Every structure is written in structure tokens, then in C-alpha cells.
């Protein structure tokens, strides 16, 4: 009889734990952003339950070679840590990734990622995190791209300088004669 009570208590405890984890949900999303003027702001507002997780994917296309600077900031309202950004990475179409750097965590989660000499390709930012409260929360960031000239551009620049120098010398020689 005593063994049945222990077994019932263990079964009830296991059911309670399973029911508690059933409320945690994956609230991930995938969106496409368009880089206009070399930069774009992105962000998301969340009305979720404590314990919900997300892996948000922000897709964009880089039309030419460039350097990227990006970051994400999540500031918790009040004095309660409401969101935990646990990862911030940049992926290309081949699946190669660069991880971001965490600068702060707690009431304000701050991540940055800077890289240079990216080629034209499809990319996405992956932001992972956990909701820590049932309050309305949000995060936001910015992607900025600085164009990097292609090697052919440098060749054309040098050729143009050479032609300008040749013409200047020719004019000098014509005036001397």
C-alpha cells in the first residue's frame, strides 16, 4: 500500500513537470528585409509566455561586395530581465557563419557583429533567445553595408591616373618646345 502512494506521488510530479514544459513554445519567425540606402532597421515585438524560445531569421541580399556592421539590442522594461538574447550570427547561402560578440546581458542585452569583404550573396541574421516574462517585450537592430570597390575599379583608377599623367607631361613637353 505504501509503495502505491509513492508511485502515485512520483507519477503526479512527473505529470506536473511535463505539463509545465508543455507551455513553453517555439515562437520563431522568418522575415525578409531589404537594404535601402545601405542600411535597414529591423525588430520584433513579442507578447509571449515566460520560457518561450525563439530563433528569428532575418533574410537579406547583398547586391555587391561590402562590409557589414550590425547589432541587436534588447532592453527590458522596468527592473525585471524580460528577454535573454542568447545568440547572434550571420550566415551566407552556403551555411558559413560568423558569430556576434555579446557586450552586455541582463536588463539590456547588446550584441554586435562586424565583418569585411563580403561578396554578393544571400545572407541571414539569426537571433536566438528566451522570453523570461509574460510582459510585452521587444528587440531591435540595424544592418548597415558599406560598399567595397572591386579590384577592377582600382585598376581603372590607376589607368585613369596614368592617362592623366601622360597628358600632363605631353602638354608640358609641348609648351617647352
What's residue 78's pLDDT?
76
* H or E element in which residue 72 lies: strand 66-75
Q: How confident is the model at residue 136 (pLDDT cuts 50, 70, 90)?
A: confident
Q: Give the pLDDT band (50/70/90) at residue 159.
A: low
Q: What is the pLDDT of residue 155?
A: 66
pLDDT of residue 36: 78
pLDDT of res. 55? 96
What pLDDT band is residue 168 in, cutting at 50, 70 and 90? confident
| pLDDT computed for residue 20 by the predictor | 47
What's the grid cell of residue 76?
A: 527590458
Residue with cell 602638354: 171
Question: Mean per-residue pLDDT for 90-108?
Answer: 93
Angular region, 50: left φ>0, alpha ψ -120 to 50, beta rest:
beta
Q: What is the pLDDT of residue 132?
A: 93
Average pLDDT of the residues in 74-97: 90
For 66-84, letters b (16+ CB in 10 Å) and e give bebebbbbbebeeeeebbb
Query: Which of the residue ranges 7-16, 121-130, 158-167 has the most confident prediction, judged by mean pLDDT?
Result: 121-130
Predicted TM-score (pTM) above 0.85: no
- Are 67 and 94 spatial neighbours (Cβ–Cβ below 8 Å)? no
DSSP 3-state of 20 = helix
Amino acid at each position: 500500500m505504501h509503495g502505491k502512494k509513492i508511485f502515485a506521488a512520483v507519477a503526479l510530479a512527473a505529470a506536473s513537470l511535463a505539463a509545465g514544459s508543455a507551455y513553453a513554445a517555439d515562437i520563431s519567425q522568418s522575415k525578409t528585409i531589404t537594404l535601402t540606402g545601405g542600411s535597414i532597421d529591423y525588430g520584433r515585438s513579442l507578447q509571449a509566455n515566460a520560457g518561450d524560445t525563439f530563433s528569428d531569421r532575418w533574410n537579406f541580399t547583398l547586391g555587391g561586395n561590402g562590409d557589414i556592421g550590425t547589432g541587436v539590442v534588447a532592453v527590458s522594461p522596468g527592473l525585471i530581465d524580460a528577454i535573454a538574447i542568447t545568440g547572434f550570427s550571420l550566415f551566407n547561402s552556403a551555411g558559413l557563419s560568423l558569430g556576434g560578440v555579446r557586450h552586455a546581458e541582463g536588463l539590456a542585452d547588446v550584441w554586435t557583429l562586424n565583418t569585411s569583404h563580403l561578396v554578393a550573396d544571400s545572407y541571414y541574421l539569426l537571433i536566438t533567445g528566451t522570453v523570461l516574462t509574460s510582459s510585452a517585450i521587444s528587440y531591435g537592430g540595424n544592418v548597415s553595408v558599406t560598399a567595397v570597390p572591386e579590384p577592377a575599379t582600382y585598376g581603372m583608377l590607376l589607368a585613369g591616373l596614368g592617362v592623366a599623367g601622360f597628358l600632363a607631361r605631353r602638354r608640358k613637353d609641348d609648351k617647352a618646345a
